[in-house]
Chains A and B, each alone.
Chain A
Amino acid sequence: KQEVTQIPAALSVPEGENLVLNCSFTDSAIYNLQWFRQDPGKGLTSLLLIQSSQREQTSGRLNASLDKSSGRSTLYIAASQPGDSATYLCAVSFLDNQGGKLIFGQGTELSVKP
């Protein structure tokens, strides 16, 4: 069964700290991986998309890496701010599904304290 796992489920850090969120997946045959942000009661905002041929993607203070062989991705957030507080979701599209549906992890709830 193809599964995506995110650890930890919740994380609290002081403002300004650099942090890493983890995502692991059970099948290395992936098409792409997306990181999303979700604010309470809202929809998902796409942060970064990494194709299977890529090792990392960067957007502003965010950097996502991908290691297919170990089945892992990390989202690095530099100089965290209170506005970064949200739930971060990792989602994988596996190669054997032509439709491209995403399999999601349970998310990491991030709280950045002023």
Chain B
Amino acid sequence: DTGVSQDPRHKITKRGQNVTFRCDPISEHNRLYWYRQTLGQGPEFLTYFQNEAQLEKSRLLSDRFSAERPKGSFSTLEIQRTEQGDSAMYLCASSSRRYEQFFGPGTRLTVL
């Protein structure tokens, strides 16, 4: 068990560019969550997958954001036409059923 991993750890991009982040959950976990955290705040929920099905999306997830979890394994989060307000730490977590959630190290996005 290597824990939850995320790639890349840091991403700097120019406004208007598209970015994609990857999350690899703990292998036996069927639930995967994406959260966003801005400086000095607690994480905020973005979206949730159970296996390959995306079952819940926050209103924070505008139409520029899309997430997938093909085959119920890793997940990707894509942001199109990035804006400076998208700058944040993007966190991925996984769990088995509704048990304890384990978080990855996060991807720090900076939009210039």
Contact = CB atoms under 8 A, between A and B. Distances in A.
Pair from one complex: yes
Interface of A: 4, 6, 31-32, 34, 36, 41-46, 49, 89, 91, 93, 97-107
10 contacts: A42-B106, A43-B103, A43-B104, A44-B91, A93-B98, A99-B55, A100-B31, A100-B33, A101-B56, A104-B44
Nearest to A109: B40
Interface residues of B, number: 29
The 6 A-B residue pairs whose C-beta atoms are closest, nearest first, are A104-B42, A44-B103, A100-B98, A43-B105, A101-B45, A49-B100
Nearest to B6: A43
B110 to A, nearest CB: 12
Contacts of B33: 100-102
Nearest to A42: B105
Contact of B48 (A4, A34, A41, A101): A101
A2 to B, nearest CB: 11
Contact of A91 (B42, B95, B99): B42
Contact of A46 (B6, B45, B48, B101): B101
B12 to A, nearest CB: 15
Interface in B28-67: 31, 33, 35, 40-45, 48, 50, 55-56
A44 B43 contact: yes
A44 B42 CA distance: 10
Contact of B98 (A31, A41, A43, A106): A31
Contacts of B42: 4, 6, 89, 91, 104-107
A114 B89 CA distance: 30
Contact of A32 (B31, B41, B45, B98): B98
Contacts of A43: 4, 6, 91, 103-106
B56 to A, nearest CB: 5
